[in-house]
Amino acid sequence: MLPKLLRTECLIGGKWVGSKSGKTFEVINPATEEVLASVPRMGHEDVQTAITAAESAYPKWKAMTAAARGNILDLWAEKMREHSEELSQLLTLEQGKVIAESRIEIEYAASFLSWFAGEGKRLYGDTIPSHRTDSRILVIKQPIGVCAGITPWNFPSAMVTRKAAPALAAGNCMILKPAETTPLSALAIATLAEEAGVPAGVFNVVTGARKDAPEIGNALTSSPIVKKISFTGSTLVGKFLVRSCADNLTKLSLELGGNAPFIVFDDADFDDALLGVQICKYRNSGQTCISANRILVHSKLHDRFVEALSNCAAKLISGLGTEDGVTQGPLIESRAMEKVERLVKDAIDKGATLVTGGKRHELGGTFYEPTVLCDVTNEMAIVHEEIFGPVAAIMRFETEDEAISIANDTPYGLAGYFYSRDVGKIFRVAEALDVGIVGVNTGLISTEIAPFGGVKESGTGREGSKYGIDDWTSIKYICLSGLEK
Ligand code: NAP
């Protein structure tokens, strides 16, 4: 049975509407290839309507106290928690991840609303000792105006609230464009926004098929009314948006792809590292931006680690995410499968050893066997591209310097992980890794209370934490003069 929160229209200006063209596209369950629903294929005109709605809603929303906006966000979070099971089922149906992971994602998504409901009230300004005796310097943080969020399919709920919560808490209005493959979670979250009392036009959703994405993107980047765009997705599209935002100098935040190193030093706690790498690598079937893409194991532990990880991988159970005991869902679509197959083949052709898995799963569709490869080297494409699949690519190293040098040999810089019990090494390596997020003795780092984001080609800006609201504000300096008698 389909969840009640499944909506097939978009929320624009407080109304649930189809596209102006009347066109729709199908949302497919990646585990069964069944059609779940058809939702609007929106384009330029629909986006204009959403922009106008957001622009009209902005003055009132901005004028509210942060506490009043926070109360609405708190209620929105409460509604997400109340409907957690339904939202989780919907997420698993459209994205494929196992239900236990969907439940965690829904709580993670709600946590951004709760967190930023409070952060809005702490959007402190500043006073600066003045440069003149007759004046005072004040600094205030103000909302930017009409903003847009563009989100990917791998975390279809959390990526929505990670943008909407700080945007709205700071007093902005938003137009959200979810990914083609996973629009239903965003529409369900919009339903709960409406129920929580988010006023008409403050939060709008426009959906589109993949072929509509450039048109929707262009409508947002070319509009002088849209003052900021926050994008989570591939580095390729991120770079394209940077160029498109140039004409209007639209402010842009980018949460892009990663190529996380996961380093196991010889003094690591072996069992902890083994558990950490499994969580980091196989969660969401490897389809996370902070997934361990290159697993570097010290030669002293290497053979034992490879054997232990392949035993664990072989025990993972693939299947429908809604079924008990299943730990691995499918890949999102066939082009993801083709990429994983290409990377595994290239690695084996260039000398990697296949330890377990390495082919399509007997379940068919886009299920791929949890895989372990060792003897992976820098010449292989798997080391340089995001795998985005359940494939552990293991490299061997000897020294700390060598591990850091391999880890940093990538244009990406999102997350990095390492396991060590040596306090000196912990500080040295944490500071030496060219990434925005470091997990030390853990493979799980996401939380709404810490800043998430990358360096190099993994993007700019931070989401979550006290820092995550800054990108949604502009700073105004007020010089108050004429104060002397
Ligand atoms: P993607 O292809 O870049 O798509 C992301 C979003 O951008 C989708 O909504 C997509 O719409 C839209 N889009 C595509 N072309 C566009 C255009 N020309 N103008 C405007 N929007 C456009 O990425 P994805 O495959 O969905 O997501 C996976 C990527 O996201 C990976 O690289 C992953 O590392 C990254 N990611 C990063 C983070 C982070 O926090 N750093 C978090 C999660 C994921 P369609 O779906 O309709 O094409």
Segment 144-163 mean pLDDT? 98
Beta strands in 412-457 (DSSP E): 412-413, 415-419, 437-440, 455-456
Mutate-to-test residue for ligand 1 from 10, 24, 230, 289, highest number of ligand atoms within 8 A of CB? 289
Q: Can you say how many angstroms the Cα of residue 161 is from the centroid of all Cα atoms in its chain?
A: 10
For residue 458, which atom of ligand 1 is closest to its CA?
41
Strand 146-150 versus strand 415-419 pairing type = unpaired
Mutate-to-test residue for ligand 1 from 24, 26, 95, 154, highest number of ligand atoms within 8 A of CB? 154
pLDDT tens digit sequence for 190-228: 999 999 999 999 999 999 999 999 999 999 999 999 999
- At 25, the pLDDT band (50, 70, 90 cuts) reads very high
Record the tokens describing residue 116, joined without a space: 């930023």
- Of 94, 107, 255, 386, the active-site residue reads 255
pLDDT tens digit sequence for 124-142: 999 999 999 999 999 999 9
Residue 213 Cβ inside 6 Å of ligand 1? The answer reads yes
pLDDT at 102: 98
pLDDT more than 70, % of the chain: 100
DSSP 352: P
pLDDT tens digit sequence for 347-384: 999 999 999 999 999 999 999 999 999 999 999 999 99
pLDDT at 228: 98
From 276, 286, 351, select the one nearest 308 (Cα to Cα). Answer: 276
Q: Can you say how many angstroms the Cα of residue 337 is from the centroid of all Cα atoms in its chain?
A: 20
Burial group, residue 296, by CB count within 10 angstroms (0-12, 13-18, 19+): buried
Q: Is the predicted pLDDT of residue 2 greater than 70, yes or no?
A: no
pLDDT at 444: 97
Question: Strand pairing partners for 10?
Answer: 17
How many angstroms separate the alpha carbon of residue 232 from the centre of ligand 1? 6
Q: Can you say how many angstroms the Cα of residue 193 is from the centroid of all Cα atoms in its chain?
A: 20
pLDDT at 1: 54
- At 80, the pLDDT band (50, 70, 90 cuts) reads very high
Q: Catalytic annotation on 255?
A: yes
Q: Catalytic annotation on 479?
A: no
How many angstroms separate the alpha carbon of residue 54 from the centre of ligand 1? 23
pLDDT at 4: 79
- Of 289, 312, 448, 463, the active-site residue reads 289
pLDDT tens digit sequence for 448-473: 999 999 999 999 999 999 999 999 99
How many angstroms separate the alpha carbon of residue 255 from the centre of ligand 1? 9
Segment 258-287 mean pLDDT? 98
Burial group, residue 299, by CB count within 10 angstroms (0-12, 13-18, 19+): exposed
How many angstroms separate the alpha carbon of residue 11 from the centre of ligand 1? 21
Record the tokens describing residue 73, joined without a space: 């966000």
How many angstroms separate the alpha carbon of residue 22 from the centre of ligand 1? 25
